Amino acid sequence: MPEIWLNYGITDVVLDIRAENLEQKIDSDGKILDDSAINEKLNTIDFSKPMELVVLHNSKSIQKIISSMFTLCEQKSKPFPKILTDKKILNQVKAGLPEGSSINEFENMENPNSNLVFMGEMEFDGLFGYETVSTRLIKKFGLESMLSAYAKRQGNLPVPGQYPESLQEAKKFSDNFEIQGIEIVANSQGIIDFSIGHPSETLSNTKILESNSIKDVGQHKTMIISTGKDASNDNLGKSFSSLWNCSNAIKKDGLAILVAECKGGLGSDALQQYIENRLTLEQLRNPTKYISGMEDLLFLSEIQKNFQIGLVSILPEFYAKKLNMISLPGIKYSMDYILKTQGARQKVAVVADGARILLR
C-alpha cells in the first residue's frame, strides 16, 4: 500500500490508499536554487540602508530567504532588517526567525516609506490569475480598489494562470507606493527563483511559476487535493485557490476532496455573511460594495454546477453543509467515502501541492 503524506496545517497526514486505487500522484516540480545562488541574488541588496521586511504570510521559502539575509548581514557586519508582520501570524513567523531578530506588528499602509520591503511567495489566484505581492496588498489594504478588480473579473468562474484585467488593478494599486518587494517562486522541495524590486516589476515572475507549475494530466473522476503548505490552508477562503487550480482536471459530475485544516476559520467576510444568511448568491453578481472573499463564494457556487466538493477540515460540519460541501471528519474517511459511493475499484488522483500547481 503506497503511503502518501499530505500537508494539513502545520503537520502532515497520511493517506492510506491501495495501489489499485491510486490513479496518479501529482506534485509540483522545478530545479531548486542552492544556497550560493540564493546568496548571490541577495547580494544585490544594499544592506547598509535600513530595511523593514514585511512578511505577508509564513512559509518555509520565506523563512529561508530571511535566514539567508541575516547570515549575509552578519558576514558584512550590517544591521539586521526589522521584521514586521500581521498580528495573526506574528507568533508563527517569530518561531521561524533566526536568533537576534526582532519582530513587530505591521498595522497599515497609511504612511509607507521606501524602507519597506514586502515579501511573499507567488501562487495562483482565481480572481487575479496569480497571487503576488501586489494582489496581497490590494486585498489587505485596498478594499475600495477591490470593488473595481472584482467588477473586471473574467466571468463567474476562477481564472488561475491567466492575466485578467483585475491583475492590472492590483498593479495599479501597488504603483501608488514607493516600496520594494521580494517575490518568491517555490515548490514543495524549495525555492525555484525570486526577484527583488517594485511589486509591479516583480510581477514578471508569473512566467517562472507558469513554466514550472502547469501540468497536462487529463480529466479525472475523483481527486484528493492538499494545498501543499500551512499558509495555503490556514483558512477556507485561501484553501479554495488549490481547488480552482485543479478544477479543469475534474470530470463533469466528478468529486474533489479538499484537505485543508482551516485553523483560521472561514477567512472571509463574504463566507461568514453567507453562512449567517446575511448575503445571497444573487448579491454577488453586481455588488455596489466589495466584501472580502466575494469572489470565492461566487466561484464556489458556479463550480459546484460541474462537480461535487468534499472537505476535510476542523471547521464545523454546519459550515460545510451550508456551503453545499460534503463534510468529512478526517483523511481516512475521505477514502472510505470514495470507495463506498463510487465503488471499491475507483481510481483516485492525488494532488500534493495544490496551491503551486495548475492542472489542465
Which pLDDT score is estimated for 92?
Answer: 85
CATH numbers and ranges of domains, the chain: 3-27+214-359 (3.90.226.30), 35-211 (3.40.50.11440)
244 phi, psi to nearest 5 deg: -60, -40
Which pLDDT score is estimated for 101?
Answer: 79
Which pLDDT score is estimated for 283?
Answer: 95
Which pLDDT score is estimated for 233?
Answer: 94
pLDDT tens-place string over residues 56-109:
999 999 999 999 999 999 899 998 899 999 988 888 888 888 777 789 999 777
C-alpha to C-alpha distance for 1 and 143, rounded to whole angstroms: 49
C-alpha to C-alpha distance for 346 and 12, rounded to whole angstroms: 24
Which residue from 141, 79, 86 is spatially nearest to 109, judged by alpha carbons? 141
Which pLDDT score is estimated for 89?
Answer: 87
pLDDT tens-place string over residues 5-64:
999 998 999 999 999 999 999 988 889 999 999 999 999 998 888 899 999 999 999 999
Above 90 in pLDDT, residue 262?
A: yes
- Average pLDDT score, the chain: 93
Q: Residue with C-alpha cell 531578530?
A: 101
Which pLDDT score is estimated for 112?
Answer: 75
Which pLDDT score is estimated for 165?
Answer: 96
Percent of the chain surpassing pLDDT 70: 100
Q: Residue 175: which residues within 8 A CB-CB, separation 6 or more?
A: 198, 200
pLDDT tens-place string over residues 303-322:
999 999 999 999 999 999 99
179 three-state secondary structure? coil
pLDDT tens-place string over residues 167-209:
999 999 999 999 999 999 999 899 999 999 999 999 899 999 9
Which pLDDT score is estimated for 95?
Answer: 86
- DSSP β-bridge partners for residue 328: 312
Say which range, 96-100, 155-159, 211-215, 219-223, has the weakest mean pLDDT: 96-100
Which pLDDT score is estimated for 113?
Answer: 78
